[in-house]
Amino acid sequence: MLRAIKSLISLYLVIFLAGLAGFFLLINLFNPETSSWYVFAALYFSIFVASFGIATLLVSFVRYVFSSRIGIFSERDVVLRQSSWLGLLVTSGFILQSLRLLNIFTAVLLILVFGILELYFLNK
């Protein structure tokens, strides 16, 4: 059991570091004024991977602290789904900010949409 937990945490950490490395690589290699759309797509994908990786670590830690310590890693699908929502939330926020569409109203609306989606899947 302990070995499985260590392997999951190391996998989540590798995912986070891969996304972070891709983000910094794209930031340092490409000029945003002359780049094409696929560079921005790769940038937003690396932001999603990095935020997904850190969210899996944070969600796993929060679920470990506030729920039963035995069955926490048996519900990996819930952790992955919640981390996907958080990754999509962060990436959507960055996309909206780059388009100058992010304000308090759209941020609250975005959080509500992802919260309602998570509530739907929890009650399903």
* Amino acid 89: pLDDT: 97
Give how far Cα 113 sits from Cα of 5, 51, 95, 117, Å. Answer: 31, 18, 16, 6
Tell me the C-alpha distance between 74 and 106, whole Å. 35
Residue 119 is encoded by which pair of tokens? 């509530």
Do 87 and 55 contact (CB within 8 A), yes or no?
yes
Provide the domain limits for residue 58: 2-123
Q: What pLDDT, on a 0 to 100 scale, did the predictor assign at position 16?
A: 96
pLDDT at residue number 62: 84
pLDDT digits (tens), the chain, 124 positions: 678 778 888 999 999 999 999 999 999 999 988 999 999 999 999 999 999 999 999 988 888 788 766 666 667 888 899 999 999 999 999 999 999 999 999 999 999 999 999 999 989 8
Terminal-to-terminal C-alpha distance of the chain: 29
Nearest 10 degrees: CA dihedral of 70, 75, 76, 81? -140
- Cα-based distances in Å from 55 to 9, 12, 66: 12, 9, 16
Distance CA 113, CA 74 (A): 27
- Count structural domains, the chain: 1
Query: What is the model's pLDDT at position 74?
Result: 67
